[in-house]
Structure 1
C-alpha cells in the first residue's frame, strides 16, 4: 500500500486535472499564435506606462512586446499559477478535511497504514496535481519559436518548476488547515485568501513603493514575480519555496496525528 492512496486520489481527480491542462494548452496556443500580431504594437507599452498600477494588478508590467513580457502578462503572472492553484488548493482542502466531512477518511484510517504514511501519500498526490497544467503550458510555449517567441528553455524550465512549487506550497497550506480544523471550507477559504494576498503583493510591488519590501513574504514573488522568464529561477527562490512546502507538510503530519477522524 505504498502508493495506493495517492493513485486513488489522482484517479478520482483525473477529469479536473485533464480539463485544466487541456484548457490551458488551448489558451497558451492562442497566446503564442497571437504574438506576431502584437509584438510591434507600441500601444501595449504605452498602456502599462500610463496605467501602471492597474496593469500590475493583472500581472502586466515591463515591455509587453518582448517575448518574456508577453508571456508574463498573458500566462505566467496570472493564468498558469491560477489553474495550478485551483488544482492544488482544491485537492489540499479535500484530501483530509473533505474526506473527513464525507466520512471516507475514517475508512482510510482503519487501513494498515500509519497516519504519517497517509499524509505522505496525499502530499505525494498533491505534488502531481498541478503538473499537467504546468508541463503542457511549457511545451506549447516552447513550440512558440515557430511564432517568433524566443524564450530561453532553461528559464522556461525554471519558471515551470517555480509554478509547481507555488502550487505545492499553497496546497500544503490547505492540507494543514484541513488537518487542524477538519473543515474543507475553512481550508479552501483561508488558503485561497492567503494566495490572493500573496499575488497582490508580488504584482503591485514593482509599482507601489510601500508594498515593495513585503514582496519577500510572497511565494508568488519567488515563483513568478522576480523576472524568472528573463533571468531564470534563482536557486535561493527554489529553496525557499521547497522549504515552505516541506515545513507545511511536516506541520500537517503533526496536526493530522491529533485530528479526531470521523
Structure 2
C-alpha cells in the first residue's frame, strides 16, 4: 500500500507533535512528582465530596488522594484527552477541508490515487498522530512508581489505547464534516462543540441523575469515564470506539467522493 500522503503529512507535523508530546510529558511528571505532597491531604477529598458537581466538571470522581483518583483528576479525566483532541481534530479539519481551501488538495487529486486511498492515508496519519502524546504520558506514569504513585499496568495500557481511540473518533468526525462541507472552520467548530458536549455529558452523568442513562452516548465514557484506570478497560468499550471511528471513516469517504475540489 502506498503511504506517500500519510508520510508527508506526518513529516510536516513532526515538530508540533514533538512539542505536544514533550509538553504533556513534562506536565505529567510535575503532576506525578507532586503526588507525595498531597496524598495524605484529606482536605482534597472533603472538597470533592462537598462539591461533587464542580469536581465532576474537571473529571474528578472518587478519592483525589488515591493514585488513580489523582491521575484521573489531573491527567486522564481532562487534560490528556484535551491535548489529544487538539492534535487530531486540528489535523482532521485541515487534512481535507483545510487543504481544499488552500488549493493544495487539487494538486493531490491529480495524482493517480483514488479518493478512497487519499482518505485512508490521511486517516492513518491521524491515527499515528494520536499515539505519541498518549504513550509519553503512560511512560511518565510508569515512572510515577518512584513517587509512591502506582497503577495497574494493564489498566494503564487499556486507558492509553482508549484515549488514542477517543482522539481518532473526534478526528474522524472533523474529517467527515470537512469532507461534507469543504470548510475547515465548520469541521473544527462543530467537532469541538460535539466534543465539549460529550465531555460534559460524561462528567456530569455520575452526579446528575437524569443524565445518567445518557452517558453511553459519550465517547469519553468508553475511553476514560468508566473508571478504566482502576478497573481495567473492557474490550467491548474499545470495540465501540473502533466501530464509531469506522463508521465515520466510511462517511468521510462517501462525502469526499462528492466534494467539489478546488
Post-superposition shift, 1:174? 0.2
Structure 2 unaligned residues grouped into runs of 5+: none
Higher deviation after alignment, 12-21 or 182-191: 12-21
Runs of 4+ in 1 over 3 A off after TM superposition: none
Post-superposition shift, 1:13? 1.1
Higher deviation after alignment, 203-212 or 162-171: 203-212
In the aligned structure 2, how far is the partner of 1:16 from the partner of 1:215?
33
In the aligned structure 2, how far is the partner of 1:129 from the partner of 1:113?
23
Query: Counterpart of 1:130 in 2: which secondary structure?
Result: helix
In the aligned structure 1, how far is the partner of 2:19 from the partner of 2:246?
28
The aligned counterpart of 2:222 is: 222
What is the TM-score of this pair, normalised by structure 2?
Answer: 0.99
The aligned counterpart of 2:191 is: 191
In the aligned structure 1, how far is the partner of 2:93 from the partner of 2:146?
40
Query: Counterpart of 1:211 in 2: which secondary structure?
Result: helix
The aligned counterpart of 2:156 is: 156
- Written as runs of structure 1 = structure 2, the 5 A alignment for 1:1-262 is 2-262=2-262
CA displacement 1:126-158 (0-9 Å, x = unmatched): 101111110000000011000001200000000
In the aligned structure 1, how far is the partner of 2:15 from the partner of 2:101?
22
Post-superposition shift, 1:26? 0.4
In the aligned structure 1, how far is the partner of 2:228 from the partner of 2:15?
30
In the aligned structure 1, how far is the partner of 2:247 from the partner of 2:134?
23
Post-superposition shift, 1:19? 1.1
Structure 1 unaligned residues grouped into runs of 5+: none
Task: Tell me the number of residue pairs that the alignment of Structure 1 and Structure 2 aligns.
Answer: 262
What is the TM-score of this pair, normalised by structure 1?
Answer: 0.99
RMSD after superposition: 0.7
In the aligned structure 2, how far is the partner of 1:52 from the partner of 1:4?
49
